[in-house]
Structures are given as C-alpha cells and as structure tokens.
Amino acid sequence: MPDTDTLAAPDFSNWSCPLPLRDHPRVVMGHGGGGALSAELVEHVFAPAFGGPVLAALGDSAAVTLGGVRLAFSTDSYVVRPLFFPGGSIGDLAVNGTVNDLAMSGATAAYLSCGFILEEGVETAQVARVAQALGAAARAAGVEVATGDTKVVEAGRGDGIYLNTAGIGLIPAGVDLRPQRAEPGDVVIVSGPIGLHGVAVMSVREGLEFGVDVQSDCAPLGGLVQAMLAVTPDLHVLRDPTRGGLGASLNEIAAAAGVGVVVRERSIPVPPEVANACAILGLDPLYVANEGKLVAFVPRQHADAVLEAMRAHPYGAGAAVIGECVTDHPGMVVARTALGGTRVVDLPVGEQLPRIC
Amino acid sequence: MPDTDTLAAPDFSNWSCPLPLRDHPRVVMGHGGGGALSAELVEHVFAPAFGGPVLAALGDSAAVTLGGVRLAFSTDSYVVRPLFFPGGSIGDLAVNGTVNDLAMSGATAAYLSCGFILEEGVETAQVARVAQALGAAARAAGVEVATGDTKVVEAGRGDGIYLNTAGIGLIPAGVDLRPQRAEPGDVVIVSGPIGLHGVAVMSVREGLEFGVDVQSDCAPLGGLVQAMLAVTPDLHVLRDPTRGGLGASLNEIAAAAGVGVVVRERSIPVPPEVANACAILGLDPLYVANEGKLVAFVPRQHADAVLEAMRAHPYGAGAAVIGECVTDHPGMVVARTALGGTRVVDLPVGEQLPRIC
Amino acid sequence: MKYLEEFQNPELARRLLDDIRATVTRPWALMEVCGGQTHTIIRHGIDQLLPEEVELIHGPGCPVCVTPLEVIDKALEIASRPDVVFCSFGDMLRVPGTDKDLFRVRSEGGDVRVVYSPLDALRIAEQNPDKQVVFFGIGFETTAPPNAMTVYQAKKRGIRNFSLLVSHVRVPPAIEAIMQSPDCRVQGFLAAGHVCSVMGTAEYPELAERFEVPIVVTGFEPLDILEGIRRTVRQLERGEHTVDNAYPRAVRDEGNPAAQAMLADVFETTDRAWRGIGTIPQSGWRLSSRYREFDAEHRFDVGDVNTCEPAACRAGEVLQGLLKPHECEAFGTVCTPRNPLGATMVSSEGACAAYYLYRRLGAPAAPATPLEASPVA
Amino acid sequence: MKYLEEFQNPELARRLLDDIRATVTRPWALMEVCGGQTHTIIRHGIDQLLPEEVELIHGPGCPVCVTPLEVIDKALEIASRPDVVFCSFGDMLRVPGTDKDLFRVRSEGGDVRVVYSPLDALRIAEQNPDKQVVFFGIGFETTAPPNAMTVYQAKKRGIRNFSLLVSHVRVPPAIEAIMQSPDCRVQGFLAAGHVCSVMGTAEYPELAERFEVPIVVTGFEPLDILEGIRRTVRQLERGEHTVDNAYPRAVRDEGNPAAQAMLADVFETTDRAWRGIGTIPQSGWRLSSRYREFDAEHRFDVGDVNTCEPAACRAGEVLQGLLKPHECEAFGTVCTPRNPLGATMVSSEGACAAYYLYRRLGAPAAPATPLEASPVA
Amino acid sequence: MCLAVPGRVMEIEERDGTRMAVVDFGGVVKDVCLEYLPDLAVGEYAIVHVGFALQRLDEESARRTLELFEELGLLQEEFGDPWEAAAGAPKEAETK
Amino acid sequence: MCLAVPGRVMEIEERDGTRMAVVDFGGVVKDVCLEYLPDLAVGEYAIVHVGFALQRLDEESARRTLELFEELGLLQEEFGDPWEAAAGAPKEAETK
Ligand code: SF4
Ligand code: SF4
Ligand SMILES: [Mg+2]
Ligand SMILES: [Mg+2]
Ligand SMILES: [Mg+2]
Ligand SMILES: [Mg+2]
Ligand SMILES: [Mg+2]
Ligand SMILES: [Mg+2]
Ligand SMILES: [Mg+2]
Ligand SMILES: [Mg+2]
Ligand SMILES: [Mg+2]
Ligand SMILES: [Mg+2]
C-alpha cells in the first residue's frame, strides 16, 4: 500500500465548504437527495433562518415537551415516482415514513396530519387509490389521521400527487434517543436486509425499468422499537436509513456525536437481487433507500439482548450486528471490506446516479 | 316580489349531489378552492379512505388527547403564487396559516413542522428569502420550528417552492371550540376588514396585475384568541376565513351545526379597495381569502364583552358584529342586503373567477 | 368607487321603491335584458323589495347562458389541441358543453387561461409565437368592440398566431324574438345600459312602437335598476310605450361612433343560434371577410360538431320567461349548480341558479329573528 | 451474480495476495488503466492489502476524468438549448465545465436526462419528434460499439432528430503517451479487460515490446485485479515484458469482430485532447463522414468554445502518475468532491477523490478496535 | 353581461401605436385602452369594460340623476306622491 | 469506465429489426441488444455493457481460472511458494 508516513500532512482544519452554495445559485436534484447537499441547505439556509434549539438537534423527529408531556414530532413530504411500486405506494410511505421517524425517538405514533398537493388533471380514481393505501397503512400502523389539507396546483406545476404527513407520539419516560448519544463502544445493529425499497422503486422507474423479484420493505417500525426498548430504555440512537441509505444515516450519526463508526461490510445484509441490481447500475447498496429498516447504536452490554428481541419481531427477523462505534476518525464512517481492506463510507454528495464505469 | 305561495314545492329530500364526482374523473382547480368541490373530495374520497373520529370533526385543527394533555394539531400546504406579495410571502402564510388554525381550537401554537418541496432550478437565494420570512413570522408568532424536511422535484414538476407546515399547541382547560357548537342565538363577530389578503395576492398575480394600495392581512391570531378566551372560555366556534373567504366559513359552520346564519351585509367590514377590486373583477368580497381574520360564534350574553376585548387587541381593532345564528333555514347562510332584501350566501362551487357579467 | 357607491344608497333606494309602490296599480311583467342586471337584482334582493305587482323576468342577456352548445363544443375541441393556448373570460370555464367544460379540458391537459381582457390574449400570442392563441369572443354589443379592436390590432401588428372564436350576439333581434313568441308575457323591457353606451338607442324606437312595449335603457347599480323599473312601470301605468333613457350618465343617443365603425369593419351580422332558444335571424356577429383569417372556426376547421343538448333541460323556455325554473323536472334533482344541465344553472345570474338558491330558503324576506333585535348590533 | 461473486471470494483473494507477497522483491509501480478497476481497488481496499512494494497508479481510463473541457462545455451549451433533450450516462452530470455542470444546466431549465443505454436516448428521439435528442457519446472502446450501433440504427431507421456528441477515446495511444512522458514511473500496465473484450489484444504486443513494459489484460472483480497484479509483478520480477491475458473468460485475442467492423464503419480515428493531459495523436474516434449528419457538434455548430481550465488544477500530472493528488495545492482546500476543480475530484474512482477520502482517515488499514473483538460479532 | 365600471383617467400614453390610459377605480389602478374614446382627457371619467373605455361618464348627468332621486322622496314627503296624484288612484303612503 | 456484468440469456427476439435478448443477472432481468453477438444462444452467458452484449463469457475458462486460484494456495500450503522458490528469495509465509 502507499506509504502514508511519507506523505505531507494536509491541513484539514478548514475543510468545510469554503464558498457555501457557490456552485448552486439554483436548487439541483441533489439538494433533496439526503446527502451532503441536503445537509448544506439545512446548515446554510434553513437553520440560520428559522432554526431553534429543537431543530438544531437534527434527529429523525423532534422531541418537544408540551403540558409536561414529552412528544416526538416529525414531518416528511413524499414525492416518490411512480406512485405505486412493488410492495407499496406513496400512501404507504407517507404513513410509515413519518411513523418510523417518530419511532426513532422511541415514540409510538398516535396522530398524523396529511396534506395532499394535487396536480390539476390527476385522475380522481388515482387520488382515491392513494388515499385508500394511506388509510390501510395507518390502520396497520395503529395511527389515526387527525387532520388534513388539500391543495390543487395548475397542470405542469406538480406531478400528480405529492403528500406531506406530520406525526406526533408520546416518548416513554427514560427514553432519550438522539444521534448525539452515540459513543465509542456502542454496537451498531441493522434490523434486516438493506436496499429493498430503493431497488423496488428503481425497477419501475421510467427509463430504468428492469425485472426483479423485489418488494419495497416499507413497514411501520413502532412495534419493533417498543420491543427493543422493552429490553432497555437506554438505547443510544435509532435511525431509519431512508434517502441516502445506511451510508448517509451512519455518517449523520458519526458527525452528530463526533465518533468514528466502523462497519464490517460482510456483515451487512444485502439481498442478492439488491447486490446485483446495484452491480448493473454501478450503485452502492449502502446508499440505497430503505423504508422499513432501522439502524441502532446500542450500549455493548445490551447488544445481545437487543439483537435477540429484534430477531423475535417480524420486522427485525433479519437483524444483524454490522459494526461499532470507535474513538478513531471522529465523524467518519469506515467499512472493513470483505477482503480485509478498509474504505471510507462518505456522505453521498447528491443523489445516486447509475454509473458506466 | 314573486309570489312564493303559489309555487309548487320541490322535493328537497334528495338534493345532495346525485352522482358524486361524475363530472370529475380528473382533479380540477376547484377541488382545491375550499368550496363545494373541496368538500366533496373530503367526503367522497378522503374520509372513506382514512377518516377517523378526529378527522370527522372537520375543524380548522384537530383536538387530540395525548398523555392526558389536550392538543390541537393542524396542517396546511401552501402553494400561493407569487411567492412574495404585498404584505407577506409564502413563508408568512406557512406560519400564520397553521398558527391560526390552532388558534381556532383555542390553542397557542407551540411547535411547527415545515416541509419544503423545491422545484429543481429555483434560486437558492429565493429559498433563503422564503426561509427567512418563515423564521421571522415564527418568531413574531412565538412558535418554534421543531422539525423539517426538504424534497426536490424535477423541473416542470413543481413551481419553485411549495411549503407544508403542521403545528401543535395546548388547548386550555374548559375550551371546546368546534363548528358543531354554533347554536341559534349566537352572535357572529368578524375580527376586522375582510378580503385584504385575496386582493393583495390577485393584484400581483400574472395576467391580472392591478395597482392597489392593499397589503395582505396575514397575521398570527393566537394572542387575539387568548384575549377573547380571557373574557369567557365558553366561545362556541372560531374559524379563520381563508380559502373561500367568509362565505365558505359561515357555510361550513352552518352545515356542521345544522343552524341557520343571518348576516347583515352592511355590517361586514369591506375596505373600499377590496370592494372596488371586486367590482372590477366581478367577485364577491365574501368569497375572497383572508389570512389574519377570524369569525367567532359567541353566546349572546358574552358578545359585548368579547367584542370589547377584540377591539382592544391590535389584530381585532376592526372587529364587528355581522350577524347571528338562527333556527330558520338550517345549514344555510343568508345575507340581509343593504337595501333590506335577502340573498343566500352559498358555498362557492370551486375557485372564484373574474366575471364579465 | 365614485359613481358606483352613490347609486347603491339604501335611503334613495327606499325613495325609488316608495315611488314605484305609489305608482303601480296592477301586475306588470318586466324583463331585464342583461345578466349583469339580473346579478344586481339577486345580489341586492331587489326583486323581494318590489311591490308584488311587479314581476321581473330574467332575460337572455347572459352570454354564459345563451352561447350555443355547438360553439361551446367547438371551444372545447380547439382548447384540447396541444398547440393551442385557449383564452377566455372566467365565466365561460364552467359552462357545460355536450360532454364536459373548459375546466375539464384543462384537467385533461389543455392550456386554458383566464384573462381579464382580450388584449391579454393578444399579448400571450406575441409572447408565444410557437403556439396558436385563441380567444373566446362571446358577449353582446358591449364586449364586441374590445374583441373587434383586438382582432384589428392582431392584423395591424401581424400577429398571425392569434384567432377569435366568435359568438357575439345582439340585443335588438332577441327582443324582437321574445316579443314574437306566442306565449310572451313580457310587457316592458329594461334595456342593457352598457350595450347602449356603445350602440346608442336608435335601434329601439321601432321595436317599442311595433310591439307597443316600453323600453327603458337601464344601468346596473341598484338605484339604476329601480329607476329603470320606476320609469317602465310609469309608462305602463300611463299606457305609454316609448324608449326612455334612465342611464343618461353613460348612454348617449348616438352611442360610441368609433366603436360602431370598428364593429362594422371587423364584423358582419349573421343568423345566430341562442342556446335553448334557437336561431334568431341576424342576431349575431361573425368576422367579416376582411378578417376571416383570424376566425378560429376557420383556422381549426371545427365545422362539424354534433351537439346534444340534454333533453330534460328547458332553459330555452326559462330564458323566454315562459317557464319558471322550478317547473322544470330536472331542477334541483339532476340539475344543480354543482352539476348543471343547462347554462342557466351555471352562473349566479342564470335564472335557474337564482331560483335554486332562493327556493331553498323558507321565508327569504323575513328572517325569524330580525338583526335589529341583537343586543350588540 | 454468477461469475461475479466467485471472483470476490476473500479466501481466494488471500491466496492471490500471499502469492504476490511471495513474489515481490522490490518496489514496482503499476498502472491500472481503467476507472472501473480503480473503483474496485478503492471499493475493496485492495491497495491497502498489497505488499508495500506494489504501488498502484490510477490511470486515465475514466471517461469522466479525461473528457476534455471543450467537449464538456459544448455539452453544456447544447444541453441548454430549449429544443434539445440531452441524454447522458449518470457519471457525466457532475463533471465541471468551465462555469458549471450538467446538473446546473438542468436547474436552469435544460432538459437533461440520465439514461442507462444509448438505445434509451434513441427511443426518446422517436417519441419526441419535435425535439432534438442528443446523446453524450463518451467512453473507451467498450462504450464506443453501443454508441456506434445506436447511430447506425438512427440512420437505418431514419431518426433524424437524434445526434451524438462524440468524445470517444482509445487506450493504446494513451499508454503510448504515458510511456513517452519523461517523468514516467509506470513499470507495468493492467490493461482494461472490457476494452479488450471488444478490441482483442492485437494492439498491445508492439507497445509492450517498444516500451519494455508488461501489459496484462485484467478484469474488474477483486480476484481479477489481484490476478492481473500477480501476473504483472511476476513478469517484472522475471524481467519479462509480454502481453498476458488474465481475463480469459471475457477476452479473446481477436476481440469482437462484429463490433470492430461497426466501429470502422461509424467512426474514424482522430487526434483527441485528454483533459489535463493534452492532445494525443490518433487517440480518439469521431463520426466518419458517412455519419456526419448525426454529429451533434456539426448539427449545433458549437465549434468555437473558449475553455479555461482552473490554473490550480494539476489533474494532468495526477492522471499520468507524475503527482500525488495531495501534492496539489488546491487539494482538500478549494478542491473537494463537493466543489471539484478538476474531473479527478468528481467521481469516487478519480485519483483525487480517492485520496480525499483516504487521507482524512488516520490509519485506514487498522481500526483501533478490531471488529472481531465485539462481543456480538 | 357587460360588467363595466366608472374610472378616472390618471395618465395617457401611446403604447404599440395604441392610446392607453392609467385609470383609477377608487384606489384600484389598471391600464385601459382609449382607442374608442380618443379625446378623453386626464381627470375625466369613463365606463370601462374588459380593459376598454367605452363611453365618457357624464358627471353632470350623474349629479342630476342623484338629485332627482333625492327630490323623489322630498316631493313625496312634502306634496304627496306625484304619480299617485296623477294616476288618481290613492294608495296608502308608507312611513319610513 | 466499462462497468460490464455477466448475464445469462433467457429469451431472444427480433425487435425493430434488431436482435434483442432478455438477460438475467442473478434475478435482475433487462433487455439487451445482441447485434454484436448474433450467434449467442439461450442459456449462454455474455458480458453486458450499457445494454449491449459485447462478448460471450467462456464458462470453461472461468472455471479454470478459479481452479488456478484454488491451486495457488494449495500449492503454497503443500509445496511452499513456487515463485519464492523460483526467485530464490525466502520470505515469511503468513498464516491464515
Ligand atoms: S333547471 Fe337545469 S335542466 Fe331545468 S331548465 Fe334550468 S338549467 Fe335546464
Ligand atoms: S486536487 Fe483538485 S485541483 Fe488538484 S489536481 Fe486533483 S482535481 Fe485538480
Ligand atoms: Mg428518518
Ligand atoms: Mg422527518
Ligand atoms: Mg423520514
Ligand atoms: Mg387546509
Ligand atoms: Mg406533469
Ligand atoms: Mg382555517
Ligand atoms: Mg389546517
Ligand atoms: Mg388553514
Ligand atoms: Mg425528511
Ligand atoms: Mg414550472
């Protein structure tokens, strides 16, 4: 290998983006990709404009106290194309995405809001199908849609249906799940095979269509989280690796907590179809979206018991230890490769694109 | 006048829409207009799909109980064009619209979520301006943005910036504000001059531009509501007449409570610029949107004191009694005209359009 | 607005009403010709305030109501074309054609835009040289001059991607047709003030004389309407039938000669079908041969449109004052403002829509609890 | 995937590494030609596992890295045109031109689409006859045949709104240029396996002989790379310099004659600038005169593009193995993957991006707490 | 049809060879085409329909009309209803 | 460049006068152009790049290559490292 000792050490002290947004006078797709560009928008635009102490915590959901009660509160908009895909629909995502963000704070989702932005001309039957999927998913997740809103935008200024949901739920006493709580020694557990949602959606995306027997893993994780918290309320971090995949989630946690994360690539459960679809398209399964998985940072002494509890739950049957938290390389995620090498798993810059080389 | 006695009485028992959605296999702009088409979409599509007991209450915001605490919970998406208009911006609306919906349940907004749907290509500086307006509005309203989300959609599948906010706040003990609580004898009060927001936005809308010295009334109403509740917690209904204007709000209340509403047109505060803009465009100020006004249904014995409290608050300085609740013509709103005639103020079908005749 | 508010004064309205009440001795059926007048009457509840002897019949002067189904269907067909930007006044978007309306065409991908003025459509044409921009030229003599000027400008400035789908109609032939109907009940006309602002009053004396019917040029504000009624009733009570101008601030006998000259250049009179009524000879305007190239029907070759008016709809009789809306079988059941069968159910000034609103109300003129009794009013 | 997984087997990789370790006696600098190979090396950490004597220099075989700035700028200009749908492999969207990249063109309204295959672009052309559809034809001998076939099909099927912006490059002239560089440190080449699947091996013996350098045709999976290295090192240790095929399952000596024939028909060789390196004689392909009408440069007349490569960027030296990325002043300060100055900072297989990732890591090969120590691992 | 409103001319200019005015409608200002009333002057009122001035508003006539309406009641109050008297058919006078 | 993967031909058909195949890549199925390998048969493997089959995959050769890798270790374990012996320069053998 190259001799690291003989290299002049570059100065890393000012490695933050020297000219924020310099290259982006306009929003590009990557600003919504859940990677570095998204983070930059939050850091340089949103946080200075309206960020407060709660937003600054930057979890999947916010933990707020209201009337003496601790609540988790979260929102996401859903713009997935096509609206229906193998294993789910935008309606399922709108429920499970928000329910899961609440679950990552340890909360069981109680109520959802739901905003439809409809494009003039979308078939009302299609709207009804999405609404029905959303209703079925809400019932399955045990959450009630409490309030809603509909807006219609002119044809050509939308794309059929966009959804937003926000959710609230109670955080149990003694539970404090935040990315900042990751600490060296924590064991990193993923709840099952990764990449299924992203591959399922790509397989039916216009212009990319391929045949593959993969269903989105879209599922509500509240029950799994409660089963984990029943082992110990002292879990450190939970995160659902959606946009940007496991790679983005691990990076966010490493950065928030100022710890290093090491994962053993061979231990990461990647279904063969996901691996093969990624091989064809030149993508990395670590960056492919999931919608029914979580990654947990668990104190070492509880790791066995938590893993066991996860595997006993239908949505955690494929749970696996994939790595751990270290003091080295704070803020960075490193993968031990199957061959025994290492590589840095960086925060993706923007959205993942099919490569040819 | 025509002799009503000699007219054969039509059978009104089955006057609901005989073929729901028959004419609308596709969504039209009117489905988002806050009128009859919007209501139909909720009734025939959304409620059957995911409606539960809370959603069925159909207030501006939902009242839910969580951990023994009563919360108001509400959402709205914001698609206003242009993004900036005299007196405000989409960022102001996104805060005040949701804060006000919570206020209509008697709650003081505590936390907001905020979802941005950005169109690829929108200027980041524009995004920043909207974010800053949103932040300033949140500070003015005393609400904290606790959680957010950003999605980017392809160019041509959005329109610069769409926003969604959801909000939560505590409902004070003893307060039960719902449209169903309107009852005959209630006095109807509006908090100030109507139509300012709608006219301000129309004046800068592409293709309709006109010069007018009108600012949107966009404002947070939480303080005004608390001042009113300080008089008595036993207000019956509050509603912010946004899309569809005062006319739609009064109709919704009349329908929900099964009461008649009579307003005296001469008492409704319509600024001359609003009246004149409406005269040119052939619109009715009763259907023009407001963003910093509320209409209150107040028990007769409290009406004087509530009106006094409103007029003492900056956002209620122009408050006026405009009518009352009656047992006659349940579900209908009737206006006594300045000349002494009456007319039915119907729920608008879709969006308001400039007339030529 | 100056010259608007003064003519809405309730105290003066009361004086006019008192005068009408004092004048009238027996039943009279008056037709207000113009939909704008119908709007004022309904908006202010004027019909309820009149003595019961005075019956108002809503006339055919609402372009939304009378534009023939064929033309609506042609509009729908043209607006559906991918290369077309179809511009219209807002009123027309909800008017039902045989299968749908312009809103539905939009929802199916048509580029349909609401404009305030035909000049806006011309500007859109200039800005979109790769598109065909069509303006829906409906309306009476008031709206015809603006549309004529727009076509004239298009020709003068060489804007060849602009065209007009024309269905202009003229009031005098309609008055003639109504008076010739065997069941006609109309005894006096409130003529459309703004039509006369353009055309003047010269076309009416012959009609007043021939049908022995008073014709009073009437404005649009409540006091204008009441004054028109007052003068008509006065004539009727006196047994007179002359043309009278109750709207002198906006109507001169000669009208607007510049506008008339433009109309004569750009348009030529033609037989025209009125929705629900049928064809009235020489009651319409089409583009003259000099402007044929700007005729959207010609440009898009939409000659053969097969229309099918719902059999149940009796709007034609309603428009002629021969039938009250609620006497129509469909009224309020399969025909509502939400799902109109006929154009008269579309806009609030359509007679059927007006009845739909009012007949739902038990006792419209007398709310059970008068507002004045409110402790805080 | 069969024939993929088997060639990632860690146990066999260990045996190959053991063998290399057992073979090597002194430092050797090997260049893997192809960006895909660089990707495998980085993805699996192969460079860290090799004995320290074996240094890998990342070669110029990454089209993202070497496509000249002029061509990127032409792509940006064409893609900005309102009538153009510009199609590209995903890799190219983030490559910086003089002022911006294709992502930015999209954000400014350009219709830029990522496709999986050039045939997708041809289908888009068929479906959008009113648009000009341009495919960005970059890549080496592997990608040239698919693009050639697509142009051939366009011509055969008369799809005239399709064109190709061509910047194809050829490996052998690049090897020649690198070896002729006075500072050249490369002692052996891992030739690009898939290039040879198409072209065969006939072009290499002359080079191996002339520069006395072993050239080993190498595949893309970890075992393939290790086998390529093993065979190269073996030759070097033995003082040999022959052409060897370490990827026989996918490479025949004759290559793919059908593809070669198509290349000869559709393309002709030409001098080509390589980004950061300069012009290499006869190192590129352009459309032959028979297909000139499908040449996007010709169709859109983008001949005169003035380019300006950031002066600070030393990617050319990096690409030739003359400079380590971190020796560039801009490295990690004004040049990062988020804001790349040079193309080698764009994609993870670019040498600068690879160094950016690795040099941030204290001790990449040895995590402080080995995973195996985890109680639950 | 014929929604037309009275507005006051604020400014006049030539645009694209067309005579245009800025017209004030009680605080609402719009551009209006003056081609049909070419001699309309700043300060005058016109009846405007879909962006076109169609007829000059005769302010003196408006004033007289309103005066007539005022007098109607006065006459009635002071002298009894004139038409009533004229028609010779007595009706009950209504109180305010 | 040159991301190319081995896939197995499932079906072959003519489309728009072009020879196309349905190719399976370990459960992922895509359409692939066969014009450059016209005699590829159902059941055979090919190397596919951007939707084109560029070269037949020689299964026998693949098997032999893997066998060689297997033997490498065995040889080494059983007989010591052959190159080491050949080069005459002893190095420490690493344990697994
Ligand atoms: S009620 Fe409807 S169907 Fe009957 S006449 Fe009126 S518009 Fe026609
Ligand atoms: S670090 Fe950046 S500027 Fe320096 S050579 Fe590499 S790409 Fe060019
Ligand atoms: Mg999340
Ligand atoms: Mg969230
Ligand atoms: Mg989420
Ligand atoms: Mg709402
Ligand atoms: Mg669209
Ligand atoms: Mg509201
Ligand atoms: Mg709401
Ligand atoms: Mg609201
Ligand atoms: Mg989110
Ligand atoms: Mg747009």
Confidence of residue A22 (pLDDT cuts 50, 70, 90): very low
Single out the residue of D97, D220, D216 nearest to residue D167, CA to CA: D97
- The full length of chain E comes to 96
- pLDDT digit string, tens, across residues A141-152: 999 999 999 999
Q: Out of A150-154, A349-353, C50-54, D85-89, which region has the weakest mean confidence (pLDDT)?
A: A349-353
d(CA C175, CA C170): 9
- pLDDT in the model for residue C211: 97
Residue B37's DSSP bridge partners are none
- pLDDT digit string, tens, across residues C65-100: 788 888 999 999 999 999 999 999 987 888 888 888
Q: Is D136 in the pocket of ligand 2 (CB under 6 A)?
A: no
Distance from CA of D354 to the nearest CA of A (A): 9
Distance from CA of B270 to the nearest CA of E (A): 14
Nearest CA in chain E to C3: E6
- pLDDT in the model for residue C279: 87
Is B62 in Cβ contact with A146 (below 8 Å)? yes
Is D156 in Cβ contact with F17 (below 8 Å)? yes
Task: Tell me: pLDDT of D355 over 90.
Answer: no
Q: What does the pLDDT average to over B28-47?
A: 84
- pLDDT digit string, tens, across residues A150-186: 999 999 999 999 999 999 999 999 999 999 999 999 9
Assigned token pair, B162:
């769409």
Percentage of residues of chain B with pLDDT beyond 90: 75
- pLDDT digit string, tens, across residues C289-327: 999 999 999 999 887 666 666 778 888 788 777 787 888
- pLDDT digit string, tens, across residues B174-231: 999 999 999 999 999 999 999 999 999 999 987 788 999 999 999 999 999 999 999 9
Q: What does the pLDDT average to over B77-105?
A: 96
Tell me whether domains B61-173 and B179-344 share a fold: no
* Sign, Cα dihedral of A103, A105, A109, A111: negative
Assigned token pair, A62:
């916010």
Domain extents in chain B: 61-173, 179-344
Q: Is C255 in the pocket of ligand 1 (CB under 6 A)?
A: no
The neighbour count for residue A317, using CB atoms within 10 Å, is 13
The chain-wide mean pLDDT, for chain B, equals 89
Chain A contact present for F26, CB below 8 A: yes
Is F81 in Cβ contact with D22 (below 8 Å)? yes
Confidence of residue C372 (pLDDT cuts 50, 70, 90): very low
Reduced to 3 states (helix: H, G, I; strand: E, B; else coil), residue D371 is: helix
For every residue of B102-159, DSSP letters joined together read HHTTTPEEEEEEEEEEEETT-BHHHHHHHHHHHHHHHHHHT-EEEEEEEEEE-TTSS-
Superfamily name and number for B61-173: PurM-like, N-terminal domain (3.30.1330.10)
Task: Tell me: pLDDT of B148 over 70.
Answer: yes
- pLDDT in the model for residue A17: 22
Assigned token pair, B352:
């308001």
CB contacts under 8 A, B 83-102 vs C, are none
Is B120 in Cβ contact with D108 (below 8 Å)? no
Strand ranges for chain D from DSSP E? 28-34, 54-61, 84-88, 111-114, 132-139, 162-169, 188-192, 215-218, 243-245, 267-274, 278-287
Task: Tell me: pLDDT of D190 over 60.
Answer: yes
Size of interface A-C (CB pairs under 8 A): 9
Is B334 in Cβ contact with C104 (below 8 Å)? no
- pLDDT digit string, tens, across residues A25-81: 888 888 887 778 888 888 888 888 888 877 766 667 899 999 999 999 999 999 999
- pLDDT in the model for residue C63: 80
Residues in contact with D370: Cβ distance below 8 Å, sequence separation at least 6, in sequence order? none
Query: How close is the Cα of B74 to the center of ligand 9, in Å?
Result: 5
**Does residue B82 have a cis peptide bond before it, meaning omega lies within 30 degrees of 0?**
yes
Task: Tell me: pLDDT of C374 over 50.
Answer: no
Amino acid D42 reads: I
- pLDDT digit string, tens, across residues F16-59: 889 999 999 999 999 999 999 999 999 999 999 999 999 999 99
The chain-wide mean pLDDT, for chain A, equals 89
SS3 per-residue string spanning chain E: CCCEEEEEEEEEEEECCEEEEEEEECCEEEEEECCCCCCCCCCCEEEEECCEEEEECCHHHHHHHHHHHHHHHHHHHHHCCHHHHHHCCCCCCCCC
- pLDDT in the model for residue A58: 62
Residue B111's DSSP bridge partners are B144, B168
Q: What does the pLDDT average to over D256-270?
A: 97
Q: From residue A307, how far is each of A60, A68, A192, A310, D280 by CA, in Å? A: 22, 33, 11, 5, 58
Place of tokens 């160094």: D355
Distance from CA of A306 to the nearest CA of D (A): 11
Q: From residue B174, how far is each of A73, B224, B234, B298, C258 by CA, in Å? A: 25, 18, 8, 15, 70
Specify the CATH number of the domain B179-344.
3.90.650.10
Q: Which of D139, D357, D365 sits opposite A346 (nearest CB)?
A: D357
- pLDDT digit string, tens, across residues A186-240: 999 999 999 999 999 999 987 788 999 999 999 999 999 999 999 999 999 999 9
Chain-centroid distance of CA B275 in Å reads 19
Assigned token pair, C196:
């006369």
- pLDDT in the model for residue C349: 64
- pLDDT digit string, tens, across residues A76-99: 999 999 999 999 999 999 999 999
Neighbours of chain C (3+ CB pairs under 8 A): A, B, E
Task: Tell me: pLDDT of A268 over 90.
Answer: yes
Q: What does the pLDDT average to over A278-306?
A: 96
Task: Tell me: pLDDT of C363 over 70.
Answer: no
Confidence of residue B271 (pLDDT cuts 50, 70, 90): very high
Q: Could you say which residues of chain E have pLDDT below 70?
A: 1, 73-96
d(CA C100, CA C304): 18
DSSP H or E stretch at residue A70? strand A69-78
The chain-wide mean pLDDT, for chain D, equals 89
Distance from CA of B60 to the nearest CA of C (A): 24
d(CA B344, CA B334): 4
- pLDDT digit string, tens, across residues D302-319: 876 666 667 788 887 887
d(CA C156, CA C295): 15
Task: Tell me: pLDDT of A21 over 50.
Answer: no
Atom of ligand 2 nearest to the CA of D355: 1
Single out the residue of A256, A245, A258, A205 nearest to residue A34, CA to CA: A245
The neighbour count for residue D252, using CB atoms within 10 Å, is 18
Q: Which of D55, D369, D372 to mutate to test the interface with A (most CBs of A within 10 A)?
A: D369
Residues in contact with B13: Cβ distance below 8 Å, sequence separation at least 6, in sequence order? none
Q: Which of C26, C91, C197 to mutate to test the interface with E (most CBs of E within 10 A)?
A: C197
Q: What does the pLDDT average to over D76-105?
A: 90
- pLDDT in the model for residue C348: 61
- pLDDT in the model for residue D321: 72
Is C220 in Cβ contact with E54 (below 8 Å)? no
Adjacency order of strands within the sheet including A62-66: A62-66, A69-78, A161-170, A108-119, A144-153
Q: What does the pLDDT average to over A108-130?
A: 95
Query: How close is the Cα of A242 to the center of ligand 5, in Å?
Result: 7
Q: Quote the Cα angle for D71-D72-D75, to 5°.
A: 85
Half-sphere exposure in the Cβ direction for F50 (13 Å, CA) = 32
Q: Which residues of D touch B153 (CB under 8 A)?
A: none
Percentage of residues of chain B with pLDDT beyond 70: 90
What ipTM does the predicted assembly reach? 0.88
Q: Out of B136-145, D83-92, D118-127, which region has the weakest mean confidence (pLDDT)?
A: D83-92
